[in-house]
Every structure is written in C-alpha cells, then in structure tokens.
Structure 1
Amino acid sequence: MKYVIGIDGGTQSTKVGIYDLEGRIICEEKVMLRPLLVPDADTAEHPEDDLWDSLVTACQRLMRKFEGSKKDILGIGLGSIRCCRTYLKKDGTLAYPVINWMDKRLAKPYQNDIKDMAYLSTTTGYLTVRMTGQFKDTAANYEGVYGPFDKKEWKWSDDPQDYKEYNITRENLFDLVMPGDLLGYVTKEASEATLLPEGCPVIATANDKAAEGLGAGLRDDGSVLVSLGTYIGGMM
C-alpha cells in the first residue's frame, strides 16, 4: 500500500489525514485552534504560534495512529487558510502573530512597523518554511493585498516601481510555485517535531476554500458549491 497525507489548515482547526491512492481515508486527526485575539472591531490575530503548534500536535497524533510504514508515504499536500497575512523573520519564524482574514489591517499595505520583519507571506508560505526550510509558497493562496501579483500570469511583477505602494520589495516575498508542484522536503527538525517522515516531498495545493471546492467536485462552470464554514460562502 502507498499513501499520501493531506494538511488542511482552517480558521477554527487544523486537520490532517492519511489516504490511500484510491482516496480512502486511512486515519485522520483534528486539533482545534485557540480563540482569536480580538481586542477591538478591527483586529483578529492568531495567538502565539498556534497554526504551527496545532499542526505539530495533529501530525504527532496522526502518525502515532498510523499502522503502516512511513516509507510508503509518497507525499504531503499542504493547504491552509486564505486571506491571512504572516510577517516573518529571516529564519522563517514569526516576527508578529498571524493576522487572520477578519482583520481590517489586511485592507492596507505593510506599515513598516514590525521589528525584524524580513518576509511578508501567507499561512501556506509560513508553514512551508517550518516544514521544509524553503522560502516558497503556492501561487494559489494570494487573495488580499500582498504585493503586485499578476493573477493572469500567476507571478510577481518584474517592475521594482510596482512594489512602492505596498512598502515592500521583491526580496520581501517568497518564490511562487504552481499547485501540484514541489515546495520542498520535510526537514530533520520538522520530522522530529511532527513525526512526519524526513525527506518526504511537500506539495503545493491552494487555499482552504479553493481546495474544498475542487474536493467537492466543482470542476466546471455549471456547478455551484455552498460552503457552510466559519462563514457561509457560495463558490462557482
């Protein structure tokens, strides 16, 4: 038997599952996230390092439950919450708590007010660094104002002048890969923390809602998906 792992980071929980190549669930785990820090109507932050900590706990429980061989796990698909923003240090750790999609600051560019900020990224970008050590991200998770992103070409602008209104430079942004492409491999450090197999390929997916739509069978323009999540959304 061969297997793949899916990681689904949501607004309220982190979910992980192991599947066989026919799509059958072998085992799964879910860890609830801590309540958002909402001191006022404009602010919504994930406390401390909750996205990574919940992923570590969920993966540990999953791998302890898994009765197969780690050698038979072919890859890991990484997906997480859309429309969030992460500010990271040079080593890829958080320079500031993860800003949730309900935070009104996401309507504004970077304000040059975060100490030690070297990178501006998404939840998938942050988790990619923690899992693989690579400063890469899926191009399919860039909803919101992050920089001059060309949605038709799925790439950053090549013109340095386009970055001025965002108060960043190209060096502050991760390299992008397409969904289905390789982000990197699970590092020894990440393997020790999560119990995931060291060296296992980590594959780019999309954001949580886009992956949900595809998983539900939303593959053409004649179907609509009603999503009853943290908020109710219609997608087509």
Structure 2
Amino acid sequence: MAVTMGIDVGTFESKGVLVDDGRILAEARRPHEMLVPRPGWAEHRPEEDWWGAVTHLSRALLAQVPGAQVEALAVSAIGPCCLPVDASGQPLRNGILYGVDTRATVEIAELNDRLGEANILTLAGTALTSQAVGPKVLWLQRHEPEVWAATSRLHTSTSFVLERLTGAFAMDHYTAASWSPLYDMARQDWSAELHGICEAAQLPRLLWSAEIAGHITPEAAQATGLPEGIPVTTGTIDAAAEAVSVGVSRPGDLMLMYGSTVFVIEITPGRVTDPRLWSAPWLFQGQHAAMAGLATSGTLTQWFREVMAPGLPRDTAFETLMGEAEASPPGAKGLLCLPYFSGERTPIHDPQARGVFFGLNLTHTRGDLFRAALEGIAAATRHIAETYAEAGAAPSRVMAVGGGTKMDPWLQATSDMTGLPQELRRVTLGAAYGDAFLAALALGAARPQDIDAWNPPERTVEPRDVPAYAKSYPLFRRLYEQTKDLMHELPA
C-alpha cells in the first residue's frame, strides 16, 4: 500500500494523517502548550513541541497501518517563527512564535524610521508588524547577546523540522516573505541588503513548498520509524497547508480558518500591496497570495471556558457553552466584545489593543457573554473582509476550515456578519491533510485540481439578514476607535 504522510504542528495541538489517493487511512493527534513567559511573549519548545510532535505522530500513524509504504512526507507548522540554533543544529532558546508574540515593538519602530515604511512595503510586500520575523531577530541580537553569539543558523518551525528529517537547511518562499524586511518580493529571494539584522549565511536556501528538499536520514528514520531515503517536501506554514486541503487553488479563492486564531488566505491575480494586509508568493511559482489574521480567536474560546466555566466537564464544556450561546439572541442582548485579548493583528496592527466586554447589565448571562465573544470574532473577521475589498481583492469564493467550524453559532455569525457564503468540504482535518496532498504533488502522484476529488464540497453556510448586526457592527468599530488611547495607557 503506497501512501503519503502529512504532519502539522499547531499552536496547541499537532496532527498527523496517512492518506492513500485522498482516502484517510490513519489519524493521530498530540497536544502541547503555548508558553507565555511574559505578557506579549509567546514561545514553543522546539525539541518537545516541534520535533517531538513529528516523531510521536509518525510512529503513531505507522502503528495504525502495519505494512504501509510511505512514499513521501510533508510537514507544516505554525509560523512565521524565529529559532536560533548553533553549528550542530541544537536550539539555543525556545522558538519565538508568530504575530501573537509582540516583544519586538521597539525594533519595528526603529526599522520603520531607519528604512522607511514605504520602502519596506515596496521591498518586502508587507509592512512591519508583530508578524514579521526580521524585528524579532534584531530583538534577539540585542537582548540575548550570548545566544546571538552562538547562533549559526536561523530557523522557522518547519525548517527546523526539515533539517532534523533530512539535514537540509531550506525554507519555502511563502514563509520567507514573512521575514520582512529580509525578503525581496520582486526578486523572490533574500534581500541583498539585510540591514544589520543578520548575515546571509544564517538564512536558509529558498524553495517552493511542494519541491523535494531532501530525504530521510538514517538518524531521522530511527527517530520517526519512516523508511530511510524517502523524499520530504520543503513544507510551509500551517494555514497555507490548510488552504490547500479545502481546495483554495485559483485567484479569488479565500480560506477562512477557524483555529487558535482566525487566519485568512486569498489567492490574488497579482501582488497586493496594502499595509493592512500581508503579501507573499503563494506555494507554487507564479502565484500570489494576500493574508490576514486575528490574534485571538479559538484561544479566546479556550480562555472563556477556563475562566467562565471551570466547573464544566472538559469534554462537554464547549457543547454546553454552545447551547447557552444559541439560547442568546443575535446581538447578545446589546453586548459587544472586542476580541483583542492578545493585541490585534490585521487590519489594525495594534499589539496594545485589549479585550473588552461592553454594555454589561445584570440581566446578561454566561451564554450572552459567550455569544458576544463569538460575534466579536465575527465582527473582526468582517473588518478583514472589508479590507480585502478596499485593497481591490474582494473574494469570489470562501472555504471554511478548522476546529471552530464545529461551533455553529460562530460559523453562522461569521456568514451573517460578513454577508459571505462559506463552503465546507467533506474532510475538515485541516493542514495535515493538505500536507499529504502536497507530498502527493511532489511525487507527481496528484495534480493541483485533484484536490476537488480528494476533498469534495459538502455544504454551504448561507448568510442571513440579521438587523441586530447592522446596528452592532458600526458600534464595534467605534468602540475600538474611542477606547484605543485608553488601552495604550494601561500598564503592560
């Protein structure tokens, strides 16, 4: 039996899958934590959370299908991340995560002043925000000089795993574009001027996501149980693999991922240059993408469960909260929520933004609060959709994916708030399934259009006319504008 394996390392959970021409043969999961050592910081342990997830899931999948002949592996992971390693490839500290980590605000401001915001946008296609890796590398150089002195190479999560699997030091273009201002979008290569942030030798070779970057080494074969010598693709960020899994393949296609954060990817006819969005080459040469993302989405629902419903059984807590939210009317009885509990990414790019429940009175229930939280995330998603339209990239087709799609009030509120139908595919496993497809592409065992046969559409969530949202959304936008100065004055 010839199969491909896909593994995705997420923020709170990693998943793996074995697939035979679209048919899922085995699934496995492994939870882990996001470390928050200080407010505004977000980290993972690369050995335990990244490499440990890959070795654990690989062996767990192979154990479920004895005799499976794995022909290729693709791995995706959270990103963009920043991990320094020494000359032997050993991590020198925890991995610094994507835009939820806001430690480099001073470096962002300095680089904007020194290089010019317009020049950075022209060069890299992406304005400097908490999502950008370049300022975090500069932060590392300045705040951890002993670590920096020992740094031989700079990794993201996928490139670290790739090096462990194959010995190759490589990264995909889609991920590299998030290393602003180190990436040159026009040249599709690292910039000739690295602005004193790092040295060229510390940066990986750039490849496309479905290219074969290397082959399983004897050491990796022993650690993972995979056959020595099988090919491994370059890999990519988890959200991109998730987009692949649900058929995002042509200009106008947009993925709306309901995960720890809401993440949005649209394939665009050409390069979109708008400081409110992120831009990158897509996974395949000749294609472009524009991205957006909220900072707190699924993590807000987890926080709510832990703080507001600690007595509920963990395995049924969300089912109970969903029932309570559905009993609350749209608009949550006039309650608004700004979901900026970890600052906010697109389109406001404000790491000092704060979470707010506004309009509380003594009649509000826990269900009203949970509905307001879901509607706040939906309103922030509408803000993103409006930004795409203003940038000249209004989507023509929306595909929803991720664990949050199982929360019907959240899913429906998003369609109602944005006015966009959302197509759901049969397989909702997400990025790991997309990875298995990318591995098949690398082998030549599948064509890009074959994803529709692998994972056909199953249902569509249609938007409804909800008068309460016509009133609440303008208030949502005004609430942030009228409170952001106060947010910025609060202690960190």
TM-score w.r.t. structure 2 length? 0.44
Tell me what 1:164 maps to: 195
Tell me what 1:224 maps to: 254
1:209 alignment partner, one of 233, 239, 243: 239
Does the CA-based 8 Å contact 1:86-1:98 persist in structure 2?
yes
- Supply the AA of the counterpart residue of 1:66: V
Structure 1 unaligned regions, length at least 5: none
Correspondence list, 1:13-162, <5 A = 13-20=13-20, 22-33=21-32, 35-47=33-45, 49=47, 50-69=49-68, 72-101=69-98, 102-105=100-103, 107=130, 108=135, 109-110=137-138, 111-112=140-141, 113=145, 114=147, 115-145=149-179, 148-157=182-191, 159=192, 162=193
Q: Return the offset for 1:178.
A: 1.2
1:74-93 per-position Cα deviation (integer Å, ceiling 9, x unaligned): 11112111221111111222
Tell me what 1:176 maps to: 206
Q: Return the offset for 1:144.
A: 3.2
Q: Return the offset for 1:234.
A: 3.1
Does the CA-based 8 Å contact 2:44-2:96 persist in structure 1?
yes
- Supply the AA of the counterpart residue of 2:97: N
- Supply the AA of the counterpart residue of 2:6: G
**SS state of the match for residue 57, structure 2?**
helix
1:31-61 per-position Cα deviation (integer Å, ceiling 9, x unaligned): 112x222122121111362211122111111
Does the CA-based 8 Å contact 2:10-2:77 persist in structure 1?
yes
TM-score w.r.t. structure 1 length? 0.89
- Is 1:189 aligned to residue 188 of structure 2? no
- Supply the AA of the counterpart residue of 1:130: R
- Supply the AA of the counterpart residue of 2:190: W
Structure 1 residues 165 and 93, CA gap change in structure 2 (3 angstroms): same
Does the CA-based 8 Å contact 2:83-2:154 persist in structure 1?
yes
1:119-177 per-position Cα deviation (integer Å, ceiling 9, x unaligned): 112111100111111112222222533652123433112x3xx11332x1100111111
**CA separation in 2, counterparts of 1:152 and 1:82?**
22
Structure 1 residues 234 and 146, CA gap change in structure 2 (3 angstroms): closer
- Supply the AA of the counterpart residue of 1:57: H
- Supply the AA of the counterpart residue of 2:218: K
**CA separation in 2, counterparts of 1:180 and 1:123?**
17
**CA separation in 2, counterparts of 1:48 and 1:142?**
19
**CA separation in 2, counterparts of 1:23 and 1:154?**
32
Does the CA-based 8 Å contact 1:12-1:32 persist in structure 2?
yes
Count residues in correspondence: 228
Decide which structure has greater strand share. Answer: 1
Moved over 6 A (4+): none
- Supply the AA of the counterpart residue of 1:7: I
**CA separation in 1, counterparts of 2:163 and 2:239?**
22
**CA separation in 2, counterparts of 1:147 and 1:119?**
18
Structure 1 residues 10 and 57, CA gap change in structure 2 (3 angstroms): same
Q: Return the offset for 1:206.
A: 2.2
**CA separation in 1, counterparts of 2:218 and 2:10?**
26
Does the CA-based 8 Å contact 1:82-1:142 persist in structure 2?
no
**CA separation in 2, counterparts of 1:147 and 1:183?**
25
Q: Give the root-mean-square deviation of aligned CA atoms.
A: 1.9
**SS state of the match for residue 88, structure 2?**
coil
Structure 1 residues 175 and 235, CA gap change in structure 2 (3 angstroms): closer
Structure 1 residues 152 and 213, CA gap change in structure 2 (3 angstroms): farther
Structure 2 unaligned regions, length at least 5: 105-129, 267-492
Does the CA-based 8 Å contact 2:30-2:53 persist in structure 1?
yes
**Larger radius of gyration between Structure 1 and Structure 2:** 2
Tell me what 2:10 maps to: 10
**CA separation in 1, counterparts of 2:40 and 2:177?**
19
- Supply the AA of the counterpart residue of 1:156: W
**SS state of the match for residue 196, structure 2?**
helix
- Supply the AA of the counterpart residue of 1:2: A
Does the CA-based 8 Å contact 1:85-1:121 persist in structure 2?
yes
**SS state of the match for residue 224, structure 1?**
strand
**CA separation in 2, counterparts of 1:174 and 1:68?**
35
Decide which structure has greater helix share. Answer: 2
- Supply the AA of the counterpart residue of 2:8: D
